[in-house]
A and B are shown apart, each in its own frame.
Chain A
Amino acid sequence: MSAEPRLVEVRRNVLKQNDLAARALRERFHAAGLFVTSVVSSPGSGKTALFERTLTRLRARHRVAALVGDLATDNDAARLARSQAPVRQITTGTLCHLEAAMVERALEGWDLDTLDFLFIENVGNLVCPSSYDLGEDLRLVLISVTEGEDKPLKYPTIFNTADVAVVTKIDLAEAVEFDAAALARNIHAVRPGMPIFQVSSKTGAGIDEYLAFLKGHRSPSDGPRQSPEKSKWTPA
């Protein structure tokens, strides 16, 4: 029979390795003057469609690139390649979220100094991605008008860890009797003050305002970037 166990205090963050990798990425991104946005949502909320719009529109004046995460296939990367922006697929296998080390590997060979904006599409999942910092400046959570206005209450953690909410497929709002005020109320219940945009990647409605927000958060000089929490800016 072994002796009674002794109690030893340790204080270690379980996700320390990911947090360290994310911190290193964030430092690299800042040094390169690269503004990084990650996007989380349920499967089918319109992440890839929004990316298509975003990349195509920003490419006119900025140097943009994207990483897209999925469990399998490179369909999304193929679809986004039509925007002519550099795109890489991260295939996670069975993993339900992206981790900082995967982002780091996916960036290999890219000269970050030659980019202004990087977009990272997380795996479609409203639960697991919330635990993992990817070194991004801004985390967008997407919710389409077809998903139900109470979704933020069902998945408070992911909404709470996001910086901005983007309501997609607004062109379908009338058909599904979407209640914008109820959704805003629920978003603000779990994340007071979070900016909300309404867009249609199909018609382009609301895209200007959303892009202006992204550009506003990316400092034009090499100076320190405005963090969303400290922004005085609030959407109309």
Chain B
Amino acid sequence: MHELSIALSIVDMVEEESERLGGSTIAAVHLKLGALSGVVKEALLSSYDLACEHTILAGSVLVIEDVPIVVHCPRCDARRPVRSTQCFCCAECGAPSADVLEGRELLVTALEIRS
């Protein structure tokens, strides 16, 4: 359970960005969350509210966009989704691949700021 420390990192970063952008309160934080990030969405959402208390993020919403795993398929020589997190093989042709291109994201992509 490390989602609280992840949530606190988000709060720190957003406070810093907000100061730079001249905002006073934050309405929402948009986050890309990869299926391989090692972070559990539900746990992050509940930790987020706790981490935001008494900060400029209090009452804000964490908008999470799930990022599925994409690998480079050696047989198709193309970007392909995997069959599942339990089967790292090309969803189209079935070739195994450990060459992960997407799915490790833990990325704040946008803020909704009130000045």
Residues of A within 8 A of B (CB): 2-3, 5-17, 95-97, 127-128, 130-131, 153, 156-158, 160-161, 188-194
Contact = CB atoms under 8 A, between A and B. Distances in A.
B98 A193 contact: yes
A128 B28 CA distance: 26
A141 to B, nearest CB: 13
A157 B107 contact: no
B17 A10 contact: yes
Contacts of A12: 13, 17, 107-108
B107 A5 contact: no
B112 to A, nearest CB: 4
B106 A13 contact: yes
Given A2-B25, A12-B13, A192-B98, 19 more contacts: A3-B114, A3-B115, A7-B110, A7-B111, A13-B108, A14-B10, A131-B6, A131-B39, A157-B36, A157-B38, A157-B85, A158-B38, A160-B98, A161-B38, A189-B86, A190-B86, A190-B88, A192-B89, A192-B96
Contacts of A11: 107-109
A45 B96 CA distance: 28
Given A97-B2, A160-B100, A5 B113 contact: yes
A97 B115 CA distance: 37
Contacts of A7: 110-112
16 contacts: A2-B25, A5-B114, A10-B111, A12-B13, A12-B107, A14-B106, A16-B13, A95-B2, A96-B1, A127-B2, A131-B37, A131-B38, A156-B36, A156-B85, A189-B86, A190-B85
Contacts of B114: 2-3, 5-6
Contacts of A6: 112-115
- Give 3 nearest A-B pairs by CB, closest first: A192-B96, A130-B38, A5-B27
B88 A192 contact: yes
